[in-house]
Amino acid sequence: MIYPKIPLAQTVIELFKAKGIKHIVISPGSRNAPLTIGFTNNPFFTCYSIVDERSAAFFAMGIAQQLKVPTAVVCTSGSALANYYPAVTEAYFSNIPLVVVSADRPKHLIGIGDGQTINQKNIFESHILYSVNLKLDIKDENNIPGNEDLPMLKNLEGKLERFLGLQKDIQTHNEEEINEALNFALVKNGPVHINVPFDEPLYITVEKLRINPKATKPTIKTKAIEDYVLNECLEDWNSASKKMILVGVNAPNEIEQKWLNELADDDSVVVFTETTSNLYHESFFSSIDQIISPLTEEEKKALQPDILLTFGGLIVSKKIKTLLRKFQPKYHWHIDEKMANDTFFCLSNHIDVTPNQFFSAFLPKITHYVKSSYNATWKEIKKNRLVKHEEYLATAPFSDFKVFDILFKNIPYNQILQIGNSSAIRYSQLFPVNDTLQIFCNRGTSGIDGCTSTAIGCAVVHEKPTTLITGDLSFFYDSNALWNAYIPKNFRIIIVNNQGGGIFRILPGHKNTENFETFFEATHNLNASHLCKMYGFAYESVSEEEPLQQCLNEFFKEGDGPKLLEIFTPKDINDDVLLQYFEYLK
């Protein structure tokens, strides 16, 4: 087998293998050549070459999102690393184990004006679980430069470390730090950064390993709810007649069905689920904005919960956040192993276990169900909203709103559905979803910057067909995602093209001015046809309801390659149709 000659590169590669980190996304470069040589010549690893580092990081994140195991991205030195930052922040807030491996120059070549050099140490400091800066190997004696090559005094620190430090100590340090970083990714589920300095020559190979690094197992601490916390929760729960459960981003099949059924049977409990929650039950309340938007102030006050229990990631609905900030519950409990956001400014209890752990300890100890009309009242509201919803749809013109209704009625069963941010995820919240779909969206930072790349990474490692529904700005922003040799034939993209940032038209302000159209909405006349031709996607476009219905029948069928459907909607009426919808619900 071929190995890089540099012991540090060998150490990184062997410890990744020992930890079972198999998927490696590499962006071309020179400084990272030792790592590229090692990963690509070892049959254990599945390697991908993605040129655009920003896209590469989101692509890797999509793989990690689905497999729930650490996935690595490897880049050269300099600004290449900075392009990982959007995906690192998303992984940080979405609890996705992304392992960033950056090649770097030695210390004596940093800060002297060399090209492709930035301050890489701790670059992700505020959005990373663990950062490590490895130490440079001591070169072989016959490669040590003479005194004439020593730098000026200000650069002596790096040289002294190289020539005076013991290679054994350096090797031990590097092994310990790599183990620690990878264990963090494995146990804590989040991004870590390993910065690896290499000196030239970079491309020399050997046929035998020079090192034998030891992999250390991560320490896993089992958490349990303390008895006094559990008893306090039970006491409050048993005396409350209005209990609301609100579920944000949640992976499919995370919660045992028996606990969901038990919650659904409690008359004093309402369960609100977002599209990203992946929780389905006929008694739960999805389409949150549709249900709560028409409520009067008196109704909101009357329905104010005594207890709010939340779990999962960030909440999409601004309307539920506004309601619960104004009409705050007496108690807000959040269940999460890592952190609890005080989203509604009334957090009273962070229960740091998994939802399953909490429900298995908590629900069997509930002694009685409180008599309450809370659930029945919400059910009546939901029933009325659904009637009004269907009435409005029957007369609504072709628009973004109408398109999303048609799409959710035609997406085949048993798909992975990736949804773009901004208007795409917000429209998706208004329509029922069939319970065979698994739904994902980058809601950690809610950016549009890597939605397509994430979806493609997901599609590459998932057996089920993957469909991405996205807006035009999000798609064009991340169009380098298509510069990818690994896209499966069953991958589908649906672009709802309203010629700009249509979501901004829903916000208050003057809409029909040059300033608004240029700097907020970013109006354009682009279409995806040329990109599809360049990247080998089958392309089709529609701009009316009937052709859309007909097109969808063929769009999801098997083909010779990936497909893209671009749906053009009238940007001048989309905002009015949506705003009138909420008015009609009243």
Amino acid at 334: H
Distance between CA atoms of residues 461 and 430, nearest Å? 30
> What are the φ/ψ torsions at residue 161 (nearest 5 degrees)?
-60, -40
Say if residue 61's pLDDT is above 80. Answer: yes
| Residue-by-residue DSSP string for 178-232 | HHHHHHHHHHH-S-EEEEEE--S----EESS-S--PPPPPPP-PPP---HHHHHH
**What mean pLDDT value characterizes the chain?**
92
Q: Which whole-number Å values give the CA distances from 280 to 195, 261, 271, in the listed order? A: 43, 10, 10
Amino acid at 297: E
581 contact partners, CB below 8 Å, separation of at least 6: 392, 396, 401, 430
| Percent of the chain predicted with pLDDT > 90 | 84
pLDDT of residue 223: 83
pLDDT of residue 528: 97
Are the C-beta atoms of 245 and 259 separated by less than 8 Å? no
Confidence of residue 368 (pLDDT cuts 50, 70, 90): confident
pLDDT of residue 502: 66
Are the C-beta atoms of 1 and 41 separated by less than 8 Å? yes
Beta partners for 418? 440, 468
Residues 489-513, mean pLDDT to the nearest whole number? 80
Residues 27-51, mean pLDDT to the nearest whole number? 97
Distance between CA atoms of residues 453 and 236, nearest Å? 45
pLDDT of residue 109: 87
Q: What domains are defined for the chain? A: 3-201 (3.40.50.970), 227-375 (3.40.50.1220), 396-585 (3.40.50.970)
Are the C-beta atoms of 35 and 101 separated by less than 8 Å? yes
pLDDT of residue 114: 83
Quick one: which H or E segment has residue 102? strand 98-104
Least confident of 52-56, 91-95, 523-527: 523-527
Say if residue 252's pLDDT is above 50. Answer: yes
Say if residue 151's pLDDT is above 80. Answer: no
Say if residue 162's pLDDT is above 60. Answer: no
Residues 407-431, mean pLDDT to the nearest whole number? 95
pLDDT of residue 405: 97
535 alpha-carbon distance from chain centroid: 25
